Chains A and B, each alone.
Chain A
Amino acid sequence: MAILVGNDTRLLVQGLTGREGSFHGLRNREYGTNLVAGVTPGKGGSDVDGIPIFDTVREATTATGANTSMIFVPPPVAADAILESHDAGIEVIIAITEGIPAMDMARTVTHLRRGQSPALIGPNCPGVISPGKANVGIIPGEICTEGPVGLVSRSGTLTYQIVYELTQEGIGQSTCVGVGGDPIPGSDFIDVLERFEEDALTKLVVLVGEIGGDAEERAAAWVKENMKTPVVAYIAGFTAPPGKRMGHAGAIVSGSQGTAAAKKEALESAGIRVATNPTEVSAIVKELL
């Protein structure tokens, strides 16, 4: 099994003709992901290293049966690209683009979460990899290996660091999911934890959080109530300077200051062990597996 991406993934890349889109799209194909199409308006009929390019997502899905989309288009048109994939019936949308206005994401995510919604991962995220099956995004495939650990993270590069250390210790991963650090993510920790809890391959989940917001606190409460699979956590930002926040409304909403210490406390009180550095994560995982 594994979650979100796997052997059934038929990937299309929105923005495959761009510099980053082609670099990472083709890298994903090299990893073994079934890359079937690219979409760039106005470039339909051409190809990128043999991958056919279409003008619209609908044309691409009709012609190739693509079921997963990776978004690499610039921020001003990225929300539109997500909506286009959704409208064409794409099941899993993975948005790598950084810098999409929060207002655009608020509207887009609200629309997607109504009814039978697709899974939107990101934006501003490193993507999803199910080692040995499919890699959709920018996570370096060579640092991953197949195994029983699911990983979900708000951070990109910190995810690589932790996955790399797990792999060095001989601990493989079922799926690694970077949900991204934007104010309005398509999926949060809980959305992904739900999937891991139902996944037969995943025996343990590593949750990587960071300061700000209350996603870790809510995840802790959810894990306590709903999860049988053990969870190990790591939080970055104990020594980070307090953000230059203005106004007090943010703190009122979450009822939390969003500090690393507060998150660690919430996770520990839900019975989740919290590592003090990325290296310790793999040590605790090894002990629990």
Chain B
Amino acid sequence: MDLFEYQGKELLRKYGVPVPEGRVASTPEEAVAATRKLGGKVVVKAQVLIGGRGKAGGIKVAPSPEAAGEIADEILGMDIRGHIVKRVLVERAGDIADEYYCSFLVDRSERQFLGIMSAEGGVDIEEVAANDPDKITRVHVDPLLGMSQFHARELVFGAGINRDARKEATAILPKLYDAFVSLDASLVEVNPLVLTGEGRVMALDAKVSVDDSAGYRHPVFDELKTVHEVPEQERLAKEKGLNFIKLEGDVGIIGNGAGLVMSTLDVVKDAGGDPANFLDVGGGAGADVLSSALEVITSNDEVNSVLINIFGGITRGDLVAEGIIDALGRLEIKVPIVVRLDGTNAEQGRKMLADAPHEMLVTATTMLEGAAKAVELAGKGGD
């Protein structure tokens, strides 16, 4: 789960990382009040889970409470690359003498933790990596030994951080690492880490992404989640434990396992169709899950046919069939459902489907045949 900047900063502050004083506002009035409380010049920042806010006009400086209100009014509701701004962060503005980049993340290739630092902060770090790779310093941290002071020195000296910022930056890095590990984060990124006019070092931005699998030991994740707004269909799917992403086409897809579902999307596309969604029921899905999946998919009016492509391992074909039969009885299904079923207890499942004929139920023996049928039927429905 990706966290909003203000959420990330609140968490980092708890681990001793200096961040500017700020308040969240969801109305212009709140922004005015926040600015009054903070006093002086402030920065009003759109809270969206996407980069490039500054360029899109989502970050502006306000010299007075009234100006902050006007700016908040302008930014709230703004569409930044498909993300609607619901909140702004109002922060005390300060002078910036220098900007750096630093992050900690899980390095999949090395199966270790990786610290990254650069003296080129505040800009697109991917560009720096591509054009000026020498300006980025990487230091691996052994997950069992944890971070030592020397790791921080290697990052700070390696990146050539300004002399005035070295001491504080070296002290901040272990705190960031501590936050990264303690929060079960997959990424903690600060861009920029700034040296202020007063000679202080602080995190001016924070991108924190936490590992949902570790939610059971972080009750705070549930609280953080409450402000995350997802489209209605996706929310419904998530509630039912389904991994769902809406797409633009008209062939609904249900499968088990991300790899097989992705492959199914590819095959439907190759057959000339356009997938309406990605939906992975996960491993070991029971009848209720399959039934819910069909409910979610058919709640999208753009769907003209559905392809259910299941290859059971931990998922049992008989339970899949039970779920499909339940959904066909429970819901008013108006589009053809093409079912392709193989693997664990598939024969049993196919027999159950054969014994419960339904006018909208179509079976296929292979994945390619299933894709071809679903695409053909979607075409008819679309006429």
- Chain A residues with CB under 8 Å of chain B are 20, 24, 75-76, 96, 98-103, 106-107, 109-111, 113, 126, 138-140, 143, 153-161, 164, 181, 183-185, 208, 210-211, 213-215, 218, 234, 236-241, 244, 246-255, 276-279
CA distance A253 to B136 in the complex (A): 11
In the complex the two chains form, is B367's CB within 8 Å of A249's CB? no
In the complex the two chains form, is A249's CB within 8 Å of B105's CB? yes
**Chain B residue with Cβ nearest A255:** B129
In the complex the two chains form, is A277's CB within 8 Å of B368's CB? yes
CA distance A236 to B213 in the complex (A): 24
Within 8 A of A (CB), among B85-134: 103, 105-109, 111-114, 116, 124-126, 129
Q: Report the minimum CB–CB distance from B346 to chain A (whole Å).
A: 8
In the complex the two chains form, is B266's CB within 8 Å of A277's CB? yes
Q: Is there a chain A Cβ closer than 8 Å to B184's Cβ?
A: yes
In the complex the two chains form, is B258's CB within 8 Å of A103's CB? no
Interface residues as binary, B274-305 with A (CB distance below 8 Å gives 1, 0 otherwise): 01001000111000000000000000000000
Q: Is there a chain A Cβ closer than 8 Å to B224's Cβ?
A: no
4 smallest CB-CB distances across A and B, nearest first, come from A155-B259, A157-B257, A158-B259, A101-B214
Q: Is there a chain A Cβ closer than 8 Å to B35's Cβ?
A: no
Known: A100-B213, A156-B259, A241-B245. A248 touches B51 (CB 8 A): yes
In the complex the two chains form, is B114's CB within 8 Å of A253's CB? yes
Q: Is there a chain A Cβ closer than 8 Å to B260's Cβ?
A: yes
- Chain B residues with CB under 8 Å of chain A are 2, 49-51, 103, 105-109, 111-114, 116, 124-126, 129, 136, 138, 142-144, 181, 184, 186-187, 189, 207, 209, 211, 213-214, 216-217, 245, 247, 255-260, 262-263, 265-270, 275, 278, 282-284, 310-315, 342-344, 366-368
In the complex the two chains form, is B125's CB within 8 Å of A248's CB? yes
CA distance A238 to B109 in the complex (A): 22
Known: A110-B143, A157-B313, A248-B126. A140 touches B283 (CB 8 A): no
Known: A153-B259, A160-B311, A248-B51. A240 touches B278 (CB 8 A): yes
**Chain B residue with Cβ nearest A114:** B144
CA distance A239 to B126 in the complex (A): 24
**A-side contacts of B2, CB under 8 Å:** 244, 246
In the complex the two chains form, is A183's CB within 8 Å of B106's CB? yes
Q: List 11 A-B contacts (CB under 8 A).
A: A75-B213, A98-B282, A102-B186, A140-B312, A140-B313, A143-B343, A208-B259, A236-B260, A239-B275, A241-B278, A244-B49
Q: Report the minimum CB–CB distance from B324 to chain A (whole Å).
A: 17
In the complex the two chains form, is B262's CB within 8 Å of A164's CB? no
In the complex the two chains form, is B257's CB within 8 Å of A158's CB? yes
CA distance A184 to B116 in the complex (A): 19
Q: Report the minimum CB–CB distance from A238 to chain B (whole Å).
A: 5
In the complex the two chains form, is B258's CB within 8 Å of A246's CB? no
Q: Report the minimum CB–CB distance from B30 to chain A (whole Å).
A: 25
**A-side contacts of B257, CB under 8 Å:** 155-158
In the complex the two chains form, is B217's CB within 8 Å of A157's CB? no
Q: Report the minimum CB–CB distance from B69 to chain A (whole Å).
A: 29
Known: A157-B256, A184-B108, A249-B103. A279 touches B314 (CB 8 A): no
In the complex the two chains form, is A101's CB within 8 Å of B343's CB? no
Known: A20-B284, A110-B143. A210 touches B259 (CB 8 A): yes
**B-side contacts of A276, CB under 8 Å:** 266, 270
In the complex the two chains form, is B209's CB within 8 Å of A246's CB? yes
Q: Report the minimum CB–CB distance from B359 to chain A (whole Å).
A: 29
Known: A155-B258, A252-B136. A184 touches B106 (CB 8 A): yes
CA distance A239 to B248 in the complex (A): 12
**B-side contacts of A248, CB under 8 Å:** 51, 124-126, 189
**B-side contacts of A278, CB under 8 Å:** 263, 267, 367
In the complex the two chains form, is B258's CB within 8 Å of A181's CB? yes
**A-side contacts of B111, CB under 8 Å:** 106, 109-110, 113, 184-185
**A-side contacts of B268, CB under 8 Å:** 239
Beyond A103-B184, A278-B263, list 20 extra A-B contacts (CB 8 Å).
A102-B214, A106-B111, A106-B143, A110-B143, A140-B313, A155-B257, A159-B259, A160-B311, A160-B312, A246-B209, A247-B103, A247-B105, A247-B187, A248-B51, A250-B105, A251-B126, A251-B129, A252-B116, A253-B107, A276-B266
Q: Report the minimum CB–CB distance from B284 to chain A (whole Å).
A: 6
Most B C-beta atoms less than 10 A away, residue of A75, A249, A251: A249
**B-side contacts of A253, CB under 8 Å:** 105, 107-109, 114, 116, 138
**A-side contacts of B129, CB under 8 Å:** 251-252, 255
Select one of B216, B217, B314 contacting A24, CB under 8 A: B314
In the complex the two chains form, is A249's CB within 8 Å of B270's CB? no
CA distance A214 to B275 in the complex (A): 26
In the complex the two chains form, is A239's CB within 8 Å of B269's CB? yes
CA distance A139 to B107 in the complex (A): 29
In the complex the two chains form, is A157's CB within 8 Å of B265's CB? no
Select one of B187, B310, B313 contacting A250, CB under 8 A: B187
Most B C-beta atoms less than 10 A away, residue of A96, A99, A101: A101
Q: Report the minimum CB–CB distance from A118 to chain B (whole Å).
A: 15
